[in-house]
Amino acid sequence: MTTKNFVFWLVFLAAVAVFARSAWRLRQYLRFARPENRFDNLAARLRQMLTVGLLQKKILRDPSAGIIHVSIFWGFLVLLAAAAEAVLEGLHPALHLNWLGPLYSLSTILTDLFCAFIIVATIAALWRRYVQRVRRLQLEGDRIEAAVILVTIFAIVTSLLLLNTARVRLGTDYSWAVRPIASLLAPILPLDHTAFEIFWWMHIVLILAFTNYLPYSKHLHVLTSLPNVFFSPIEFPRQIPTVDFSAEDAATFGVRDIEDFSWKTLLDGYTCTHCGRCTSVCPANQTGKVLDPRQIIIAINRRTMEKGPLLLKLRDWADNALREDLRTAARQLLRGKRAEEMTELERTVFETVFSDEERAIWNRRLVGDYIAPEALWACTTCGACMQECPVNIEHVPAIVGMRQALVMMEASFTEESALLPNVYSNLETNAVPWGGMAHADRAAWAEGIGIKTAAEDSTMEVLFWVGCAGSYDERAKSIARAFATLMQHAGVDFRILGAEECCTGDPARRTGNEYLADTLTQQNIETLERYNVRTIVTICPHCYNTLKNDYPRFGGNYHVMHHTQFLQQLIEQGRLRIDQAELDRVTVAYHDSCYLGRYNNEYDAPRALLENVPGLEVLDVERSRDRGFCCGAGGGRMFMEEHVGEKVNHNRTRELLATGATTIAANCPFCMTMLTDGVKAADQADRVRVLDVSELLAEAITRRSNGSASPAEQ
């Protein structure tokens, strides 16, 4: 063993020890969070890690940035073999990889080529960030770190290319090695043995330094992105955190601090790349609200890094405490107790273990000191942030979890969310979010059109779940009537629940009142089971998503369809003859509902229905399908005020109006309300109609059948 090898052993073992300690520390922080099983569906998770993680599927949704990142990512995967060989050389001069033969030739060729790709990609990344100044990359506090990382990557790759060039020039390269770019550079660059040693050490030290810097930087995602993708939901994350109200030892409900998150949320914090893709598509952020999804995740990670060491210190103290009562008190503190909640003994332990500065850190509030409550209430839960995130971070469940604590633990509301207590009171009293509505009037919209309730006749083909808007909102009632007309036209044997139908709980659940949502859910399931309902169709995507994705957790398993899906099914079965309908020439700008499209991946059925109508031309807007822009009503925002920035529905409506369409088509009563208000605000109500897809179909059929007015016109 040479002196070089001896020095390398010391450096290498020290670097490995430091990295192992950092990795252990990060792993321990995750153990303080709430447990959650993310080890199901292993085959599907591996496929997802392959497509999203290794093949970078979501990165390429932004082609210009995606190509740069893919070049660097795949380049580093290829260069792992070269890095491993450099480490082997450091351990012993006789260790190398040329025994792989032709595979070694392929590896060295790819190494040379990807060195060039990465050099070009890092220069392009620096250009985008510091010359073009792409808006989403201009995060305060990231400028210096990003430059350091990109320059370090550039230096790692350049040093590798130059040390390989020196090998070729000196004639000391291994057999089977094929280095096309190094061979081109070798006659030009006067590199000697000293240059080789300098570049070799430079390459090794930079790799070890970079690896040990990762756990303390935003580039920790280099290590955690693949695990984070593996543990993310197989499909779009539709569900929010559950709350176990039956747990006898439950001290808090919702998320007040990092201990209340699941470990996956803390892993999300480790994995955030600060790329800003989530922020660039967030409807609240893009209309001037305080919400920045990226900053939410960064704040969670910052809190984890500040409080994590305190939790470790307290746990170690508890493990070594001699008295059982002191150990018990310390473990109670590990559950995230605040100073005002501590018993006398717990306070004694708290003051014994921590310094004044550490106690101040402990007592900071996640919501308040790190995250503004206004940011949480600005969220429409549209899910655009999660759709765009290249590493599958789950922003919305984290936000709703913090809302749960604000509502159920603190009854804390902002100026914009101040109306929610009234909404909860209405839901508790009459099972409808609006005040002044009688529960007995739920079926009033159906009077005179021959619709039976399940109580009158429980034999049915399908249950029509009308929803609160369709039952009470004057504009949405016409959607319910239009859809009912179409089902009657197709000969569908359907029923409604009438006064037995309650709100699904969506407004309560998405705004954080999980207790009320659970109550409504269980009440509805009891009613549905009493009538042995198995197939449900609804005009509301919020009801659709809740019945389909939330109710199974409570034992309510049904075949749930959105009315556009059901209508398309009727057409395919030949029961509804839309092809016989006729309309005057109409241009339609179609708006995708977030809870039908993004949450449930249904984009085609509404479009197929519209395209079946002769004389109707469908115009897609730029932000459509899985890139669609929210109307602003989701996440309970339908029942809140909006005073800050531009109104989300105005922004969306302006885009739809820019198509020049004479009709805006929607598939959601909430979207209908928001877009109608947007059209009025733009002073376009005389020129542009806002209709549900079913209203357009009913309008065509009723005019064809008997020349009468459509339900929408009625």
Alpha-carbon span 391 to 58, nearest angstrom = 8
Helix ranges restricted to H, 622-682: 648-657, 669-681
Q: Two tokens at 460?
A: 């049915």
* DSSP assignment letter at 496: B
**Banded model confidence at residue 710, pLDDT cuts 50, 70, 90:** very low
Q: Express the helix, strand and coil content of the chain in percent, nearest 5 each.
A: 60, 5, 35
10 Å Cβ neighbour count for 314?
21
Residue of 61, 441, 350 whose CA lies nearest to 341: 350
Q: What is the pLDDT of residues 515-568, one digit of tens each?
A: 999 999 999 999 999 999 999 999 999 999 999 999 999 999 999 999 999 999
663-666 and 689-692: which strand pairing?
parallel
Q: Two tokens at 600?
A: 């449930």
Percent of the chain scored above 90 by pLDDT? 81
Q: DSSP 3-state assignment of 97?
A: coil
Structure confidence at residue 137 (pLDDT): 87
Alpha-carbon span 34 to 124, nearest angstrom = 41
pLDDT at 295 over 80: yes
Q: What is the pLDDT of residues 12-24, one digit of tens each?
A: 999 999 999 999 9
**Amino acid (1-letter code) at residue 231:** F
Classify residue 145 by burial, with Cβ atoms within 10 Å: 0-12, 13-18, 19+. middle
**CB within 8 Å of 97: residues ≥ 6 apart:** 81, 84, 85, 88, 104, 107
Return the biggest CA–CA distance within the chain. 97
**Banded model confidence at residue 713, pLDDT cuts 50, 70, 90:** very low
Alpha-carbon span 284 to 310, nearest angstrom = 35
Structure confidence at residue 50 (pLDDT): 96
pLDDT at 176 over 70: yes
Q: Which of 3-12, 60-69, 237-246, 597-606 has the lowest mean pLDDT?
A: 237-246
Q: Two tokens at 693?
A: 């897809």
Question: What Å distances lie between residue 205 and 192, 293, 413, CA to CA?
Answer: 20, 36, 52
Structure confidence at residue 705 (pLDDT): 56
* Secondary structure, 3-state, 179-236: CHHHHHHCCCCCCCHHHHHHHHHHHHHHHHHHHHHHHHCHHHHHHHHHHHHHHCCCCC
**Amino acid (1-letter code) at residue 323:** R
CA angle, residues 621, 623, 628, in degrees to nearest 5: 120
The answer to whether the beta carbons of residues 95 and 9 sit under 8 Å apart is no
* Secondary structure, 3-state, 442-461: CCHHHCCCCCCECCCCCCCC
Alpha-carbon span 361 to 518, nearest angstrom = 35
The answer to whether the beta carbons of residues 619 and 659 sit under 8 Å apart is yes
**Banded model confidence at residue 6, pLDDT cuts 50, 70, 90:** very high
**Banded model confidence at residue 581, pLDDT cuts 50, 70, 90:** low
* Secondary structure, 3-state, 364-427: CCHHHHHECHHHHHCCCCCCHHHHHCCCCCCHHHHHHHHHHHHHHCCCCCCCCCCCHHHHHHHH
H/E run at residue 330: helix 324-333
**Banded model confidence at residue 711, pLDDT cuts 50, 70, 90:** very low
535-538 and 559-562: which strand pairing?
parallel
Mean pLDDT taken over the chain: 93
- Please compute the mean of the pLDDT values over residues 637-643 and round it to a whole number: 96
Residue 302 sits at φ, ψ, to 5 deg, of: -65, -40
Alpha-carbon span 119 to 122, nearest angstrom = 5
The answer to whether the beta carbons of residues 626 and 598 sit under 8 Å apart is yes
10 Å Cβ neighbour count for 484?
26
Q: What is the pLDDT of residues 363-405, one digit of tens each?
A: 999 999 999 999 999 999 999 999 999 999 999 999 999 999 9
The CATH number of 431-572 is 3.40.50
What does the radius of gyration of the chain's CA atoms come to, in whole angstroms? 30
**Amino acid (1-letter code) at residue 308:** G
**CB within 8 Å of 220: residues ≥ 6 apart:** 26, 214, 270, 271
The answer to whether the beta carbons of residues 366 and 402 sit under 8 Å apart is yes
* DSSP assignment letter at 2: -
Q: Two tokens at 301?
A: 């990670």
Alpha-carbon span 18 to 69, nearest angstrom = 28
The answer to whether the beta carbons of residues 290 and 372 sit under 8 Å apart is yes
Dihedral in degrees, nearest 10, Cα atoms 342, 343, 347, 348 = -160
Alpha-carbon span 563 to 486, nearest angstrom = 10
DSSP 541-557: HHHHHIIIIIGGGGT--
Q: Do domains 431-572 and 578-706 have the same CATH topology?
A: yes
**Banded model confidence at residue 709, pLDDT cuts 50, 70, 90:** very low
Structure confidence at residue 704 (pLDDT): 57
The CATH number of 578-706 is 3.40.50.10700
Residue of 600, 597, 640, 622 whose CA lies nearest to 284: 640
Q: What is the pLDDT of residues 497-516, one digit of tens each?
A: 999 999 999 999 999 999 99
**Amino acid (1-letter code) at residue 504:** T
Domain boundaries of the chain, sorted by first residue? 3-221, 258-408, 431-572, 578-706
Its sign, for the CA torsion 159, 165, 171, 173, is positive
